[in-house]
Amino acid sequence: MFDLFKIAVRNLMRYKRRTLLTVLLVTIGVVSVLVFISVSGSFKNMMIGQITDSFLGHIQIHKKGYVASIDSLPLTLNLSPNALQKIEKAINENPDIEAYAKRVKFGGMFSNFVETTNVRLNGVYPEDEVRTVPLLFSRVREGEKTIRTGEILVPELLAKGMKVKVGDTVVVIATNRDGSVNGKQFRVAGILESATGPGGRDGYIHIDDAAEILRMDTMEISEIAIRLKNFDKLHEVLDTLKRQLSNDLNKQAKPAFEVHTWEKLSPFYNIARMIDIMTFFVKLMLIAIVLISITNVMVMAVYERVREIGTIAAIGTLPGKIVAMFLIEGFSLGLFGVVVGDILGIATISILSMAKLSFNFGRQKGLLLSPSINPQDILLISIIVITVSVVASLQPAYKASRMNPIDALRHV
């Protein structure tokens, strides 16, 4: 086998310029794909991280039907203390859950005593909330990175529109589930930067204040956000929770709760899917580049060495060995391209990472792009390229092995 490799490499070096060009083409393809995967992947992962860690959480649990009508934040679909107890039991039994946060979500009126407008608010336990969505307070652009009773974190756009500053006093008025209206004064503790996705422009108050405004006798929770220890176990934990909570049925004999991952709750999931599809097509383009360039080279190699093929066939080389000789040439071309491409790709990704490139997405400014690539992706791309190189050589190699030695020896 070593001799076959030696012969293949010598044959490739016979036409240095052509070999170099083909290897270069494969290399450029590999580098492009690795860089695309790393940049798009880091963008995707960073955005998912931003969304889940700054307000959404990895998984959310609601009463059945809540998500369908989430725009109106229906207080009638809050979780009762009894339901909450069951959910918390399931959560506490699950070792893969790192933290969870209970939220009371409601819509109300926000007044600065001059103007009034709508507002969507989350009543939260600050400690639980920050353990579940650790980037929440990093969104506070001005003011304090905490939520105390009597204080409110106002979303940036609302603050701008209502000309509200940190330290100002505002009033929140809301209607409870029975229709009675109540209001409470708050001190603006901070201005909260918008985040991409639903809930990214909500204000925050302490959950006790929410209960007070909504005149709740007992705490009724709108949603429970969950953070996992390992994000890769997202669907595993989802299935476990669904299974654990499936025994609780509502009056229609359907599950009383609904459990969703961030994917079902954020429209960014569709963008993430599109990135995955684009990555797939970029990989397809790489396959096409490798397939065309290597097939072209191998067809030429066979055409140029017809007499040589005739000679080796005449002296008794079996067709299988002739096939192997040309397949090894194709394999070697792919291997050289992959090795050089991997090295240059990793170097390019490292440079891009060190360059600390930033970009804007929606209202989020200066998001830092830190491209990285995992070894599995490099291995997968390498295997794809090498396999395609061998496949691309199959037809020319087969043709070489089927040549009639007499005709081949006569070839001029």
Partner 1 sequence: MSLITAHDLSKTYLKGETRVEALKGLNFEIEPASFVSFVGPSGSGKTTLLNLIGCLDKPTSGVLRVDDTDISSLNTRLAAAFRGEKIGFIFQDFNLVPVLTVYENVGYPLVLVQNTPSSERKQRILALLDAVGMAEQKDKYPDQISGGQKQRVAVARALVTKPKLVLADEPTANLDHKTAYMVINIMKKMKNELGTTFIFSTHDRKIVGEAEIIYTLEDGKLAGKEV
Residues 353, 53: Cα–Cα separation, whole Å: 22
Q: Which of 194, 317, 353, 364 binds partner 1 (CB under 8 A)?
A: 317
Question: Contact region for partner 1 (CB under 8 A) — 91-99, 214-222, 304-312, 357-365?
Answer: 304-312
Residues 256, 65: Cα–Cα separation, whole Å: 9
Q: Which of 296, 311, 348, 387 binds partner 1 (CB under 8 A)?
A: 311
Phi-psi domain of 167 (left: phi exceeds 0; alpha: psi -120 through 50; beta: other): left
Examine residue 406 and tell whether it contacts partner 1 (CB under 8 A).
yes
Question: Contact region for partner 1 (CB under 8 A) — 38-46, 156-164, 194-202, 303-311?
Answer: 303-311
Examine residue 411 and tell whether it contacts partner 1 (CB under 8 A).
no
Question: Contact region for partner 1 (CB under 8 A) — 1-9, 45-53, 67-75, 180-188?
Answer: 1-9
Examine residue 17 and tell whether it contacts partner 1 (CB under 8 A).
no
For partner 1, give the closer residue by CB, 11 or 295: 11
Examine residue 303 and tell whether it contacts partner 1 (CB under 8 A).
no
Q: Quote the Cα angle for 9-11-13, to 5°.
A: 70
Comparing CA positions, the residue from 103, 71, 78 lying closest to residue 257 is 78
Count helices and strands in the chain by DSSP H and E runs: 13, 12
* 3-state SS, residue 364: strand
Torsion on CA atoms 354, 356, 357, 358, rounded to nearest 10? 160
- Can you say whether the dihedral through the CA atoms of 100, 102, 108, 113 is positive or negative? negative
Q: Which of 95, 179, 316, 366 binds partner 1 (CB under 8 A)?
A: 316
Q: How many residues bind partner 1 (CB under 8 A)?
A: 23
Examine residue 14 and tell whether it contacts partner 1 (CB under 8 A).
yes
Strand ranges inside 112-250, DSSP E: 116-124, 140-143, 151-155, 169-175, 181-192, 203-206, 223-228
β-pair partners for 203 = 121
Residue 373 identity (one-letter amino acid): I
Minimum Å distance from CB 372 to partner 1? 42
Minimum Å distance from CB 5 to partner 1? 12
Minimum Å distance from CB 310 to partner 1? 8
> Per 3-state DSSP, what percentage of the chain is helix, strand, and coil (rounded to 5)?
55, 20, 20
Examine residue 304 and tell whether it contacts partner 1 (CB under 8 A).
no
Q: Which of 307, 363, 365, 411 binds partner 1 (CB under 8 A)?
A: 307
Question: Contact region for partner 1 (CB under 8 A) — 3-11, 101-109, 136-144, 358-366?
Answer: 3-11
β-pair partners for 154 = 191
Examine residue 109 and tell whether it contacts partner 1 (CB under 8 A).
no
**173 and 106 in contact (C-beta within 8 Å)?**
no
For partner 1, give the closer residue by CB, 13 or 277: 13
Examine residue 405 and tell whether it contacts partner 1 (CB under 8 A).
yes
For partner 1, give the closer residue by CB, 69 or 404: 404
β-pair partners for 189 = none
Q: 88-94 long-range CB contacts below 8 Å, 24 or more apart?
A: 88/224, 90/241, 90/244, 90/245, 91/224, 91/226, 91/241, 93/244, 94/237, 94/240, 94/241, 94/244
Examine residue 150 and tell whether it contacts partner 1 (CB under 8 A).
no
Minimum Å distance from CB 14 to partner 1? 5
For partner 1, give the closer residue by CB, 7 or 285: 7
Examine residue 11 and tell whether it contacts partner 1 (CB under 8 A).
yes
Examine residue 312 and tell whether it contacts partner 1 (CB under 8 A).
yes
Examine residue 313 and tell whether it contacts partner 1 (CB under 8 A).
yes
Examine residue 315 and tell whether it contacts partner 1 (CB under 8 A).
yes
Minimum Å distance from CB 315 to partner 1? 5
Minimum Å distance from CB 412 to partner 1? 10
Examine residue 364 and tell whether it contacts partner 1 (CB under 8 A).
no
Q: Quote the Cα angle for 381-383-385, to 5°.
A: 70
Binding interface with partner 1 (CB under 8 A): 3-4, 7, 10-11, 13-14, 307-308, 310-319, 321, 405-406, 409
